[in-house]
């Protein structure tokens, strides 16, 4: 038998040697494929780990509990409880005094200043001002309040500032570390959930900055984008798929939409700048304009998704409806569009998710303003979540990097949720008929 087998030219020793080499090559090729998959996964993992690792600490913040004396002589020397006076009063001094009385052995000016720098100056003063303004009866009393610490102290306690580094190379002095350690030991300095991050707008101070303004701006812009792109996109898709005659004009529209889908997003921003701002004179930085630009940008996505959803519905549905005496319009709107609804909805959500993450066109129409108020209408200057991330990313301090990453985590969670809803809807609504 083996003698017979040896007659094949494929079983000579040379042939078997060649075969071994080919097998090795095959394995190398296969491993290269696995390596490519692994590299992509590692990059994804690295991205997630580095952002989450940098950002998760921003969801917590160190707060100092201090007792402040709201002396009448400092705040309201005339005793009139005049609203204007109460707003203008020197609350900074109140906070300083509270701190100095806690560490009475600090007497020199430099020491005092550095002691005051352990709390968030504007955060603490604004907090007391707000309390007194709302309840003037507090004047003359002693109250205990919890104020955010300064970002440096916060970073120190989160372990992001190296205590062992030489003093002139770190942002907190030995003296400050000593005070902070005492406050921690006495239980006055605690780590708490950073609600402010979700309820405040932007600020110059990282410990006070939040994403609420940007989130509201994003919601407004997305609302405008949704109201523009979904009705128009679905209408255009229904027209092209069901009503349009096949002629040069509709061919042109088709090519047009396909190319529009590939236009870089920044070009839509240029369109918004030239047309909406300079030609129509709409306000800069407004979510209305941002939303319109994002809406035009997502329009092709929604048209393409709707058309494929409509195409997936069997054309026999239309024939069935027509045979019952329905008009073409009735057949389309009573039967075909409802059956395509899940696909349309999925496409719309994915389009909106794309618009939510988009930054470049918003930069063009000036939605990069530093806005410390939560916007209340679509005509007011506002920021948006990705733009907020861009603005914060410019600052090199660890406290800002932390907040930038935290904002990214929030953005990614929202996007994951939107995509999950889209996938869920697709599987849930698909082919019920």
Partner 1 sequence: MEAAQTNYIGSIGLKPSMGEVIEMMASAPATETTKTKFECRDVEVFYSDKRALHGINMDVPDSGVTALIGPSGCGKSTFLRVFNRMNDTIPNARVAGQILMDGQDIYSKDIDPVLLRARVGMVFQKPNPFPKSIYDNVAYGPRIHGLALRKNDLDNIVEKSLVRAGLWNEVKDRLKEPGTGLSGGQQQRLVIARAIAVSPEVILMDEPASALDPIATAKLEELIDELKEKYCILIVTHSMAQAARVSQKTAFFHLGDLVEYDDTQTIFTNPKDQRTQDYITGRTG
Partner 2 sequence: MQHFLTPEIMTCAFLIVGVVTAFLYGRGLATSRAQLTADSAGAHSLPSYHGYFSAWTVALLAIGVIALWVTFSGALPKFMFPTMMLGAIALGFIIINRLLTPTFRARNHVERFVGDALMICSGVAVLTTFGIVLSLVFESLRFFDQVPILDFLTGLNWSPQTALREDQIGQSGSFGAVPIFAGTFMITAVAIFIAGPIGLLIAVYLSEYANKRTRATVKPLVEILAGIPTIVYGFFALLTVGPAIRNFAEGFGLSVPTQSAIAAGSVMGVMIIPFISSLSDDVINAVPQTLRDGSLALGATKSETMTKVIFPAALPGIIGAFLLAVSRAIGETMIVVMAAGRAANLTGNPFEAVTTVTVQIVSLLTGDQEFDSAKTLAAFALGLVLFVFTLVLNVIALLIVRKYRERYE
State the minimum distance, in angstroms, from the CB of residue 3 to partner 1.
Answer: 10
**String marking each residue 300-339 x if it binds partner 2 according to CB under 8 A:** x--x-----------------------xxx---x------
Taking the C-alpha atoms of residue 175 and residue 180, their distance in angstroms, rounded to an integer, is: 9
Taking the C-alpha atoms of residue 10 and residue 155, their distance in angstroms, rounded to an integer, is: 70
Residue 242's nearest CA partner among 345, 348, 340, 342 is: 340
Q: Which is nearer to partner 1, 14 or 73 (CB)?
A: 14
404 touches partner 2 by CB under 8 A:
yes
Give the three-class secondary structure for 66: strand
Among partner 2, partner 1, none, residue 67 binds (CB under 5-8 Å by kind): none
Give the three-class secondary structure for 57: helix
**DSSP E strand boundaries for 128-283:** 142-148, 189-193
Among partner 2, partner 1, none, residue 183 binds (CB under 5-8 Å by kind): none
**DSSP E strand boundaries for 240-352:** none
Taking the C-alpha atoms of residue 193 and residue 202, their distance in angstroms, rounded to an integer, is: 18
Q: Which is nearer to partner 1, 16 or 48 (CB)?
A: 16
Among partner 2, partner 1, none, residue 11 binds (CB under 5-8 Å by kind): partner 1
Q: Which is nearer to partner 2, 124 or 303 (CB)?
A: 303
State the minimum distance, in angstroms, from the CB of residue 271 to partner 2.
Answer: 5
Q: Which of 46, 56, 195, 370 binds partner 2 (CB under 8 A)?
A: 46
Q: Which is nearer to partner 2, 180 or 356 (CB)?
A: 356
233 touches partner 2 by CB under 8 A:
yes
18 touches partner 2 by CB under 8 A:
no
87 touches partner 1 by CB under 8 A:
no
Q: Which is nearer to partner 2, 75 or 234 (CB)?
A: 234
Number of H helices, E strands in the chain: 20, 3
State the minimum distance, in angstroms, from the CB of residue 78 to partner 2.
Answer: 35
368 touches partner 2 by CB under 8 A:
yes
State the minimum distance, in angstroms, from the CB of residue 9 to partner 1.
Answer: 5
With b meaning 16 or more CB within 10 Å and e meaning fewer, what string describes 166-200?
eeeebbbbebbbebbeebbeeebbeeeebebbeeb
262 touches partner 2 by CB under 8 A:
yes
54 touches partner 2 by CB under 8 A:
yes
Among partner 1, partner 2, none, residue 4 binds (CB under 5-8 Å by kind): partner 1
Q: Which is nearer to partner 1, 9 or 169 (CB)?
A: 9
User: Are 149 and 62 in contact, with CB atoms under 8 Å apart?
Assistant: yes
15 touches partner 2 by CB under 8 A:
no
Instruction: Say which residue the tokens 């071994």 belong to.
Output: 20
State the minimum distance, in angstroms, from the CB of residue 11 to partner 1.
Answer: 8
Taking the C-alpha atoms of residue 181 and residue 178, their distance in angstroms, rounded to an integer, is: 5
User: Are 380 and 282 in contact, with CB atoms under 8 Å apart?
Assistant: no
User: Are 342 and 404 in contact, with CB atoms under 8 Å apart?
Assistant: no
Among partner 1, partner 2, none, residue 256 binds (CB under 5-8 Å by kind): partner 2
Length of the chain: 433
Residue 176's nearest CA partner among 117, 97, 227, 247 is: 117
C-alpha torsion sign, points 315, 317, 320, 325: negative
Q: Which is nearer to partner 1, 9 or 324 (CB)?
A: 9
Residues 5-64 that bind partner 1 (CB under 8 A): 5, 8-11, 15-16, 18-19, 22-23
Taking the C-alpha atoms of residue 312 and residue 183, their distance in angstroms, rounded to an integer, is: 66
- Write out the two tokens for 111: 């020491």
360 touches partner 2 by CB under 8 A:
yes
347: left (phi over 0), alpha (psi -120 to 50) or beta: alpha
212 touches partner 2 by CB under 8 A:
no
173 touches partner 2 by CB under 8 A:
no
Where along the sequence are the contacts to partner 1 (CB under 8 A)? 1, 4-5, 8-11, 15-16, 18-19, 22-23
């Amino acid at each position: 038998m083996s003698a017979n087998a040896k007659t094949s030219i494929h079983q000579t020793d040379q042939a078997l040697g060649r075969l071994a080499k080919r097998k090795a090559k095959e394995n190398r090729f296969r491993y290269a494929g696995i390596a490519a998959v692994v590299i992509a996964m590692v990059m994804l993992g690295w991205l997630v780990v580095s952002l989450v690792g940098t950002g998760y600490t921003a969801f917590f913040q160190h707060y100092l509990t201090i007792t402040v004396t709201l002396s009448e002589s400092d705040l309201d020397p005339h005793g009139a409880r005049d609203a204007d006076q109460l707003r203008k009063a020197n609350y900074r001094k109140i906070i300083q005094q509270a701190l100095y009385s806690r560490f009475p052995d600090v007497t020199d000016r430099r020491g005092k200043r550095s002691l005051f720098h352990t709390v968030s100056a504007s955060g603490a003063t604004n907090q007391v001002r707000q309390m007194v303004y709302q309840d003037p009866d507090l004047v003359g009393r002693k109250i205990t309040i919890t104020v955010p610490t300064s970002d440096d102290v916060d970073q120190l306690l989160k372990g992001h500032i190296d205590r062992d580094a030489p003093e002139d190379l770190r942002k907190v002095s030995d003296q400050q570390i000593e005070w902070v350690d005492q406050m921690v030991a006495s239980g006055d300095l605690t780590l708490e959930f950073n609600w402010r991050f979700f309820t405040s707008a932007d600020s110059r101070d990282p410990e006070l900055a939040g994403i609420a303004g940007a989130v509201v701006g994003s919601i407004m812009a997305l609302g405008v984008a949704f109201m523009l792109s979904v009705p128009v996109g679905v209408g255009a898709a229904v027209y092209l798929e069901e009503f349009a005659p096949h002629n040069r004009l509709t061919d042109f529209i088709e090519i047009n939409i396909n190319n529009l889908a590939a236009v870089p997003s920044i070009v839509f921003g240029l369109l918004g700048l030239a047309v909406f701002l300079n030609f129509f004179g709409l306000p800069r930085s407004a979510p209305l304009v941002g939303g319109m630009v994002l809406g035009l940008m997502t329009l092709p996505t929604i048209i393409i998704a709707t058309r494929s959803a409509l195409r997936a519905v069997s054309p026999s549905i239309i024939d069935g409806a027509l045979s019952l005496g329905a008009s073409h319009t009735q057949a389309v709107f009573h039967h075909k569009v409802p059956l395509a609804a899940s696909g349309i909805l999925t496409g719309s959500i994915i389009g909106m998710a794309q618009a939510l993450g988009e930054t470049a066109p918003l930069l063009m129409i000036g939605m990069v303003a530093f806005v410390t108020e939560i916007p209340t209408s679509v005509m007011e200057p506002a920021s948006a979540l990705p733009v907020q991330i861009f603005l914060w990313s410019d600052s090199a301090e660890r406290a800002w990097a932390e907040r930038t990453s935290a904002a990214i985590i929030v953005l990614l969670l929202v996007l994951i949720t939107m995509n999950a809803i889209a996938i869920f809807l697709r599987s849930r609504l698909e082919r019920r008929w």
